Amino acid sequence: MSLIKISAEHPSEVHIDDNHWKARLQNIVQDRSRAALIISRSLASRIDTNFDIDCEIHIFEIPDGEEGKSAQTLIKLWDWLGAAGFTRSDLIVGIGGGATTDIAGFAAATWLRGIDWVAIPTSVAGMVDAAIGGKTGMNSDYGKNLIGAFHSPTHVIIDTTWLKTLSDRDFSAGLAEVVKCGFISDTKILDLVKGKSVKDIREDQSLVTALITAAVTVKVSAVEKDFKDNFYREILNYGHTLGHTIEIDSKYSLRHGEAVAIGMVFAAELSYAFGKLDSSIVELHREILGNLSLPISYKRDAWQRLYPLLSLDKKARGRAIRFVTLNALGETNRLEAPNESELRVIYERVSK
């Protein structure tokens, strides 16, 4: 078992192991009067929620994926918490993928102006990204994650056993966030995945655990240095500026990690065209992501729809669109967007 401690707005812990989530959660909730388990609908029937403890357990099912990350879901959660009489000493637990832990955390951040919560991510992306660092929130009609709060879970319980039920596509999409951590910080991650397919990685449990642990460590380091995302933590947004717009344009038919993979190739091309990045690193993006069955291009005719959405990115300052770029492997920078026509030329390199 690995234990990673986080010192941010309050101390918290990340526990990484297999086949341990229920026993660990039981130890956490046993001294609480009430606990709300917010679970994605597809998981609800597969989870044993019987606990042999003196704690009132409430089960709240929400829609899967991005559908559950909405104002309508949040209002329902508030109503459920109110009807159940939740107080500041009670606990919220989010069990599911990144979208589920995002909205569970936001419910915890807003109920009674903030109560404790625990994240139990069940996807690769949730384990290495969404559940770590205290960013909670929901989507709006204008973009992803535009409404939310910084509110860290007291514990993140990463049980790699959950990953056995993921499809290859979902597993691959989560690996995009792992690879991102390799490009922006821990280049050893790239050494571990280079030349490997999704099948190769899934069949090596020790490798899966090593990759998750390495990616979590990168994110924890960024969170501790810049909890409120003022500058340094932005490195975690590598590939996300264009990636979020592609996700929206696809009407979420693309997984988050799939859209981010395309966004990383775009960011690498930007880094080469307007920065210091060597062209071989751009090709390394295509090689590693392609081997993991991730998309590395998007529809050419989408640019006119994507460009206006870029201005809604959280890194934007005033009218300036900003990208996280690379100077070299493990060395990040920022780029204020060139004009639209120059960006369009770069987009053509990742479009088809």
Q: What is the DSSP string of 190-216?
A: HHHHTT--HHHHHT-HHHHHHHHHHHH
Report pLDDT for 4. Answer: 97
Whole-number pLDDT of residue 51 = 86
Residue 142 has pLDDT above 90, yes or no: no
- Spatial separation of the C-alpha atoms in residues 127 and 349, rounded to whole Å: 31
The predicted pLDDT at position 245 comes to: 96
Q: What is the pLDDT of residue 315?
A: 75
R_g of the chain, CA atoms, integer Å: 20
Query: pLDDT grade, residue 48 (50/70/90)?
Result: confident
**At residue 229, does pLDDT exceed 90?**
yes
Query: Can you say whether the dihedral through the CA atoms of 26, 220, 227, 239 is positive or negative?
Result: negative
Least confident of 37-51, 75-89, 108-122, 222-236: 37-51
Contacts of 165 (CB under 8 A, 6+ apart): 46
Give the predicted TM-score (pTM) of the model: 0.95
What the block records as the tokens of 259 is 């859209």
**pLDDT for 155-166, tens place per residue?**
999 999 999 999
Q: What are phi and psi of 147, to 5 degrees?
A: -120, 125
The reported pLDDT for the residue numbered 205 is 96
pLDDT band at 312 (very low <50, low <70, confident <90, very high): confident
Q: Which domains does the chain have, with CATH numbers?
A: 2-165 (3.40.50.1970), 168-348 (1.20.1090.10)
Residue 316 pLDDT > 90? no
Alpha carbons within 13 angstroms on the beta-carbon side of residue 287 total 13
Distance CA 154, CA 233 (A): 20
What pLDDT is recorded for position 308?
93
- Cite the beta strand spans of 41-90 per DSSP E: 56-62
pLDDT the model gives residue 49:
84
Q: What is the pLDDT of residues 103-139, one digit of tens each?
A: 999 999 999 999 999 999 999 999 999 999 999 999 9
